[in-house]
Structure formats: structure tokens, C-alpha cells
Structure 1
């Protein structure tokens, strides 16, 4: 093992070892989660104790959205795989360089199939420091380089055990941990706020356009809850029969093709030297995951489509993976894959409302059924295949009132996402300098109120 492949030099008083030696020194260990033969697909339940899978692992904590669950009986049967506060969980395949620190919230959950658990059990070395160290860009690169696998990186206990670890003095460790934790906690808070904002917007959508609560209130001679009189006056006081059941009077049932189209315009690649190419894996639940430029020469064949503001990108492949995004910025230098539907709203629907319709879980489930019914190598939808799905559409003035109400939430979400990106960059830049001793520790305290 050569520590110089990670760090050229380290401050005086620090010691080095492997991760395997470190956990052994304090009575901990590195262990895989249960294999598939121990926990079958049929063993997962709707209500139970969460089982952490690779998809749930984030640097900033375990993502419990859409998390698998197992029964208390299976948890006890597989008790050796339970996690406790201070454990660190890795994915054994795919994004193997990412790891999550287990907090009190996840204590007692299962380290699921496809994961690895690192348990330190030391009072001298905080798990927060070890997690910060394991998230160092150089350490993450080391793990990727040493992971095995022809088509996908695979991590195992031997690789993790051989990972070089640098243990600082207690003072340095405390400073590194406090700075890392301060930034990480702010990131987590922002994510939680954004999640709450999303729930609020979805709740308003459901109230107005699914449950028709304002109409029902008006029918009862009541003021709709949380709504001003001007907005309330836009809603009718009657429900009428339709092919979708009871809907508000004056509203329409429209097929998807009645309210939008799949636009296909080629980007003139001959006019530029470089562009931002966005493939289906480069968007996720509304986020563009990069904005990196690529030379036009060498772009893949599917890099063809031009897009513009207020377009909706929606991957044709595996709708359940939620590869979609709303375009709310200048994309004149963006070109996207032909595997995207580029959906454009017409005058019957506000594009923001259309985006919420298309990204609701109920709609995704319908798309997924259509995708799974397709004969092919993988689940896929086309605009033609989904174009006859029917939706209840409110008059445009109600749509505009709805969008006006949720836009402050959307703008705050966008602002918090931008802030989180800056915080993550600050954290990733600060950590190497702290670990190398480049920054004086007394001067490295992070002030998140600036």
C-alpha cells in the first residue's frame, strides 16, 4: 500500500493505516449485506422496517424515499446485518464511491442487499470524521480505481479493507469534523425544506385538480380553505358527469395530444464548435445534473434535438426512473438525446401545470404500464403510445391562478438547490485543504450565516 498515491505529504503527528486495520483495532468490521438467497423479492413488505439499498445511499444521508421495507421477523432473522448509529454504508456496485453515515434516525434499519457496512466502534475517532475522510475526492477516486468489474464497478470487503486512511491529531480531527458537519447539516436542511415545498405544491394540485375541494366548498356555500375570494370566484359551484366521472362544470376532458405535442427540431451542430449535450441519464426529477460543454466532434449519434425555455424533457426509457426536467433557463447552447420526448404545451394548458401532471406518481405509473407492455429489450414509451391518455383540464384562468400560487415555492426550491451546489463545492474544496494542513485550522471555521 502506497499512501503517496492519495496524499503527497501529511502534517506532523498524523498516522496512517488501512481501513481494515483501523476497524479491527477498535473491534469493528466491514461486512456485506445479506445476499439475495437470504432475502427474496417476495420478502419485502409495504409497511415494515426500512432496508437500505444502493439507490438510497447519498453523501448527505440515507434517502428514504421509495425505500424497501422488510418485516420485523426478517429483521430479527437477519439481525447481524442491522445498522447502528455511526455505521457507514456503501453500495457494492454502481456508484461505489458514495457512502452514507447512519444517524439515530436509521438506527436498527437493515443494511440491505447490494450494500457494505463499515463499523468503527471507536471513542477516539468519530464516525463523522471517518465519513468526511471517506468522502474526500482523492479517496473516492481511489475506490473507483480499485473497484473491480468489466461493465460496472464492484466493491468488496477486501478492497475497502485495503483503503489507505490518515488519522489526524485530535485537534485537527475535531476541526475537520465540525467544518464538514456544519456544511453537511445545512445541505440536509435545505433538502428537507425543498421536500416540504414539493409536498405543499403537490397538495395544492391534488386539492384543486383531483379532489376538486374548492368546487365542493362552493357547493356547500363555504369559502374554500386558504383561498382568497377572487380566486374562489373562478371555480364553479357544480360537478357534472363525464367519461372520467364527476368533474367541475365547465372543465374539459382532454387527451394528452389535445394539450401538447412532442416537438422534434434538430440542432444545427455545424454552426458551433461545442455544446452542452444532455443524455437521458443527465436529468433526474427536475434537475439537470451537469452543464459541461463537449466538442461537437465526437458527439454520439443521438445528440440531435434542440430545446427552448418552457419545454419539458421526458425520457422515453423506463418512466419509473423519473428522468424528466422542466426547462426554465436559456438553453440555446444545449442539445439533447433523441431518446427524450421534448413536450411543448399549447394554449390549453400552462406548461408548469402540464409538467406537474406528467410528473405526478399516478401519471408515471400509467406510463410505466404502457412501457412494460411494449415488446422490446427494455421498457419504453413513445408520445404516440401515451397521447390518448385523458386528463381533466380546468379553464386557463384557474390554471394561471394555480401557477401564481406555486411559483414562489418553485423559485425558493431553485434558490436552495443553487445554494446546495455552492455548499457542496465549498465542502469538497475545503476538505482536501484541511486534511493536507494547507489551511490553518483556527481560520477554517465555516460561517453559514454570511
Structure 2
């Protein structure tokens, strides 16, 4: 049946085969499992601590996203054991972002696939799951899945569609070699991601210590020197508290509207029907471009617009260091602008007034997200408006301290953006090599690919 497989990867070497996941299932080299029915796994079954359950929202680019994972008890885990994931499984989403998939790592073995997922498991004696996971990241595959997914409004997948996915299969040693080459790039990208998480956590901890827990004030009130702080910075903190509507705050600081401390910037969308406005060199931010919490910055976007698109719309260029917050739909997602860009009208750009630090403003906004969400407007769906920022109360921190905070964490934040840029370059190299490797173009000389790395 190989001659019926759509040849989306171009010509292949003679010793390669072109097959489908269905053919691999029939030859016992693969197995497909749809997640449990919704009646088998209810939201009320989730517990604070237990086995994670993977939903479509947890599928990233060949990896699982570990944020907000629901969990189930040992009893439910045993009852649903047929849906347990193993290292090397590849998990697809049944609805929504059907081009995404996740390769299950050893540390994720035993987690459960949710009802909106489909997993494929391969016979490792003949197939390298890691190799297959990279094939499923190729532009040829992405175009194929977009054409074949069902549903104009909400694309969806099922076992039949997944069974028809075309796969180029080289001999097993070559599969493993290709996976090793691409995996070395992913390892570097993952290392940068973990480093960014650590750096962001340090910066966030300093913000919390200074401006939420008021540790320097408490230290001075007890006659101690604030830890990890030079004398000039320590001198900017008072040594006592006073009562306010928000509770005890450092003496001399006051409570006011958060809107007092910030400048709000609106966004816009150039007419999508005019090609002169799109595919330019100006990044255009929308909610899909929001970074993971650890990455903080956004340096690249899915869509780009032109200078003409800026001029003929309400979109504005946001300078580096501007905070972006999503205001409609998925509200409260935050990002720091890493390169000059525009954004759509579902977001606000935020800059501090009176020389308040850019990094301080970002962490202050993120610290108030829950309060902003509680104060949203909208009869149909929640929306953050300018009125929301006026109604939300916050502690007005002296601008000199916000600048000192920025100085304190600037090296961490600059390292984060450097790591992001390096990862962006590594992704470009990976995506350049990927089609050449899975089409067999570089298979006879993998050293060329290693030299590129």
C-alpha cells in the first residue's frame, strides 16, 4: 500500500520506505490509543497531589508543558491504567492546535493521557519514536495535517486521520542518528529554558521580598541590616510601617490607584484583506505569542506586519521594555517586549510613569493579575479595560526604589533575553536541518549536520 501514501517529503533514498502510522499499526510496529471518555474522568476527581493528567493545552512543540496540570488519586490512576503514558509515546491533541505534539520523556512516564488526547506508541525494535517526533515537526507534515484535520472552525483529529499520516522510514541506525543530531539541539534549547526559569524565579523572589513581604523594612525595624543590599539601596527603605486600607505598608509609602503609576498603550490590527500590511519585518503580538512564565520576554511573533500596516491602523510600535498584558479572552497573560513590536487590540502595553523601572512595572503588573481578573468588565466575556486599572488599588512605591530594583535584576533579565535569542538561532538551525535529514539529503554524511551544529 506504500504507493498510496502521499509523497509529501519529496524523493527518498532507495533503502528508505514511505509508510503510514496505520501501516505500522497493522505490522505491530505502532499502537494508537484515544483518551478516556469524559464520563470516565470527571473534573471533580482531581486532587491536589497525585498523577498528572495531560490535556491538549499541555502539548507544546514536541514537549509537555507542565503548568497547571490536573492530578488524580492512585485509585483513579489504577482504574485508568490503560491510558498511562510511557517514555517515547507521542501525544496529539484531538481538537484545536492539531499541529502540536509532545514526546513523552522518562520523567513523565506513568502520567495519564486526558480525554482530549490521542497517543501513538511505537515498537522500538524497528522504529525510533524520537525520530518520528521530529518528522512530525517538519513543515511538510504541518502542511499535511492542516489540510487533513477536520473542522473549519475548530480543527480536530481522530484515529483515522492519524493513521493516514505519511512517514519516511530509513533504516533504524539512520533514524537514531537523525534523532541524535536534532536532539542535541533540543537539549541546548531545553537547558536555556530551565536556566530562564531559574533566573526569572530569582528576579520574582527579589520583587516579592522588597515589595510584597517588605523584608528590608522588617529588617530595619528589628535593627538589622537588610540582606543582600548595598547601603544606598537600604537607605531608601523606611524602618517602620503604617496602617492603610491594604493593611500595613512601609511608612511614607501610600495606597493609590494602580493607574496612577502607569501609561496604558492600546493596540490595533491592520486590515487582513490588504497584503501590503502583512508579512513585513515588524513583529505583531497576539495572545498566541505569550511566553512561558520563565521566558518573560517575547522576541518573535507568529505574524509580522509592515510599516504601512502601522501607519494605516491604530497599532503602535512598543519600545523594548514595555509590558504587554492580554485584556480579552485569555486575560492576564504578561510579556516583556524584547524587541520593538506592535500588538493587537486585545492587549494593553504598559509603561511606568515618572521613570519607574521597566522590570519593576512588569513584575508589579504580574503581581496584580489576580486582582485585575477579579475587576474585569463585560457582559459576554471578561475584559480588562482602563477602568479596571483605575479601580485596582496598589502600593505606590517611590520611583527611586523601582530603579534600584531594575539595577538589581538587570543581569538576570539580560541573560534571559540572551538565552532566548540563542534558542531562536538553535531552532532556526534545527528547522533548516530537519527537512534535509528526513528526506535523506544529508543521510550519507551526517558529519555535515554536526558541523552546522
TM-score over 0.5 for the pair: yes
Deviation per residue, 1:20-54 (Å, 9 max, x gap): 22144336411111222221222222222111111
Structure 1 segments, 4+ long, off by >6 Å, are 265-269, 299-302
Alignment partner, residue 349 of structure 1: 356
* CA–CA distance in structure 1, aligned partners of residues 40 and 312 of structure 2: 42
Shift of 1:60: 4.1
Which residue number in structure 2 is paired with residue 418 of structure 1?
421
Q: 1:19 touches 1:164 (CA, 8 Å); kept in 2? A: yes
Q: Shift of the alpha carbon at 1:302? A: 11
Where in structure 2 are the equivalents of 1:24-103 lying within 5 Å? 24-26=26-28, 28-103=30-105
Maintained 8 Å contact 1:60/1:188: no
In 1, the alpha carbon distance for the partners of 2:383 and 2:267 equals 21
1:404 corresponds to: 407
Whether the 8 Å CA contact 2:299–2:337 is kept in 1: the answer is: no
Asked whether 1:443 is paired with 2:447, we answer yes
Task: Output one character per residue of 1:52-77: Cα deviation in whole Å (capped at 9) or x when no partner.
Answer: 11111112421101222222222112
Q: Which moved more, 1:387-396 or 1:404-413?
A: 387-396
- What is the Cα deviation at residue 303 of structure 1? 4.4
User: For 1:15-414, what aligned pairs fall within 5 Å after superposition?
Assistant: 15-26=17-28, 28-264=30-266, 274=277, 276=282, 278=284, 280-285=286-291, 286-287=297-298, 289-290=300-301, 292-294=303-305, 303-309=313-319, 310-320=321-331, 322=333, 324-331=334-341, 334=342, 336-347=343-354, 349-360=356-367, 363-371=368-376, 374-414=377-417
Q: TM-score, normalised by structure 1?
A: 0.89
- Change in CA separation of 1:265 and 1:292 when aligned onto 2, cut-off 3 Å: closer
> Aligned partners of 2:258 and 2:183: how far apart in 1?
47
For structure 2, the residue ranges without an aligned partner over 5 or more in a row are 292-296
Deviation at 1:279?
Answer: 5.3
TM-score of the two chains, using structure 2 as the length reference: 0.88
5+ residue gaps, structure 1, are none
- Quote the offset at 1:446 in angstroms: 2.9
Q: CA deviation at 1:209?
A: 0.5
Does the 8 Å CA contact 1:267/1:306 hold for their aligned counterparts?
Answer: no
State whether residues 9 and 436 of structure 1, in contact with CA within 8 Å, keep that contact through their aligned partners in structure 2.
yes
Deviation at 1:160, TM superposition (A): 0.7
Deviates more, 1:182-191 or 1:346-355: 346-355
- Residue 4 of structure 1 deviates from its aligned partner by 5.0
1:310-346 Cα distance to aligned partner (Å, 9 max, x none):
4433222035461x33334334xx4x33332233321
Q: 1: CA distance between counterparts of 2:375 and 2:216?
A: 33
Q: Which moved more, 1:83-92 or 1:288-297?
A: 288-297
RMSD (Å) for aligned C-alpha atoms: 2.8
Q: Distance in 2 between matches of 1:265 and 1:135?
A: 32
Report the Cα distance in structure 1 between the residues aligned to 2:145 and 2:268, rounded to whole angstroms: 40
Deviation of 1:115 after TM superposition, in Å, equals 0.8
Superposed displacement of residue 222, structure 1: 2.2
1:220-255 superposed Cα distances (whole Å, 9 cap, x missing partner): 222322223332232222122222111112222221
- 3-state secondary structure, aligned to 1:95: coil
Q: Is the 8 A contact 2:266 2:315 kept in 1?
A: yes
SS of the counterpart of 2:49?
Answer: strand
When residues 268 and 118 of structure 1 are mapped into structure 2, their CA distance, relative to the original with a 3 A threshold, is: closer
Contact 1:23/1:121 (<8 A) preserved:
no
CA distance in 1, matches of 2:218, 2:24: 64
